[in-house]
Amino acid sequence: MDIKKELWGKSPDGKDIFKYTIVNASGASVVLSSLGAGIVSVDVPDRDGKLADVVLGYPNAGDYFADGPCAGKCPGRFANRIAKGRFTLDGKEYTLPINNGPNHLHGGPEGFQNQVWDSRCDDKCVEFLYFSPAGEAGYPGNLKVVAHYEWDDDNTLALTLTAETDAPTVINLTNHAYFNLDGEGAGSILGHVMKLNASTWLPTDETLIPLGEPDPVAGTPMDFLEPKRIGQDILEDFTALKYGKGYDNCWMIDAYEKGQLQTAAELYSPASGRVLKIETTQPAIQVYTGNWLKGCPRGKSGVEYNDYDGVALECQHCPDSPNEPDYPSTVLRPGEVYNEAIVLAFSVK
């Protein structure tokens, strides 16, 4: 495997940002960045063998700092929302920055996605490391996080996220790449066909905080148990779709078992023939159809993105888990290792 490291830019405080390009035997490639341990691009063939970059992003490293979409990066310490920026752990209440309506989102404005991670590579992988000190964004415990990426000759990108702490804390990590299987800058993904391995989803209030127990998807626009165009029901008169201006919701992955890889989703473009199959050890997947992409930095191909030009398929734990004891736990304690995997397998049909 050929891996090339190059200096891509500098952070506002002068830290070097590195970009890593991994090319496999067929010429398909991925580009990764030490800013937010991010996926910058994935170039894979369509049904005719033509390569295209299927991940939304920007031409310059500086465009990724504090971008609204969190394009391609790994948010933390807690991906998704925590209600009113508060949670209680072992009897002590912690207060976090509010940056999404009344709630805390993606670790706050200084979250992991806006940090430059340490990085290294060998002949088969790229690793990013971030040390989050106790009290950063209000979270307890010194936390060491590693994002480990491998790209193989079958066009599969595997991300393993691990973390350790010296004091009880909460953690929820994911990758926030936006996919367009017709190619970045090719327009809407509403014609993409999606299948979710999820028979339940989490209804929310208008600020996208879950209300509690999952609901069945049957008979609702949230039903993707059989392959369906993303745009088929997106304009339905359905409360959740009105709150988010499209899909921005969390589904519970069927047959979840801690530590075991399970199919989460499959995305297919009838136009290009490209397929993305996602497996994960995580219990849930947040699907966000890029409902507010308009106005973000100009894309890599020079095109200005519009709403619904990409879909984020974020394998993770449930939003607001620290305040919902019935959800799979996001508590990490000293001596334990947080260890979750997300596998992105690209193919054609």
pLDDT in tens, 133-165: 999 999 999 999 999 999 999 999 999 999 999
8 Å CB contact between 11 and 18: no
pLDDT > 90: what percent of the chain?
99
Judged against a pLDDT cut of 90, whether residue 92 lies above it is answered with yes
Residues contacting residue 151 through CB under 8 Å, at least 6 positions apart: 1, 22, 24, 29, 30, 157, 158
Contacts 24+ apart (CB under 8 A), 203-206: 203/239, 203/240, 204/240, 204/243, 204/249, 204/319, 205/243, 206/243
Instruction: Name the domain count of the chain.
Output: 1
- CATH at residue 249: 2.70.98.10
Judged against a pLDDT cut of 90, whether residue 341 lies above it is answered with yes
Residues annotated as part of the active site: 176, 314
Domain that holds residue 129: 2-348
Residue the block writes with tokens 């992955």: 253
Distances (CA, A) of 190 to 69, 76, 243: 18, 28, 18
8 Å CB contact between 187 and 309: yes
* Residue 64: pLDDT band with limits 50, 70, 90: very high
pLDDT of 2:
85
pTM (predicted TM-score): 0.98
Q: How far is CA 237 from the centre of its chain?
A: 27
Residue the block writes with tokens 């305040």: 323
Q: What angle do CA 234, 52, 269 make, to 5 degrees?
A: 30
Provide DSSP, 216-278: E-TTSTT--SS-EETTSSTTSS-HHHHHHTS-EEEEEPTT--TT--EEEEEEE-TTT-EEEEE
What mean pLDDT comes out for the span 181-195? 98
pLDDT of 286:
98
pLDDT of 115:
98
With b meaning 16 or more CB within 10 Å and e meaning fewer, what string describes 160-186? bbbbbbeeebbbbbbbbbbbbbbbbbb
227/195 Cα distance (integer angstroms)? 4
**Among 265, 7, 254, which residue's Cα sits nearest to residue 116?**
7
End-to-end CA separation in angstroms for the chain: 25
More confident residue, 281 or 123: 281
Cis peptide leading into residue 77 (ω within 30°): yes
Query: Torsion-angle region of residue 154: left (phi > 0), alpha (psi -120 to 50) or beta?
Result: alpha
What mean pLDDT comes out for the span 249-258? 97
* Residue 1: pLDDT band with limits 50, 70, 90: confident
* Residue 123: pLDDT band with limits 50, 70, 90: confident
Interval 289-323: pLDDT, tens: 999 999 999 999 999 999 999 999 999 999 999 99
58 forms beta bridges with none
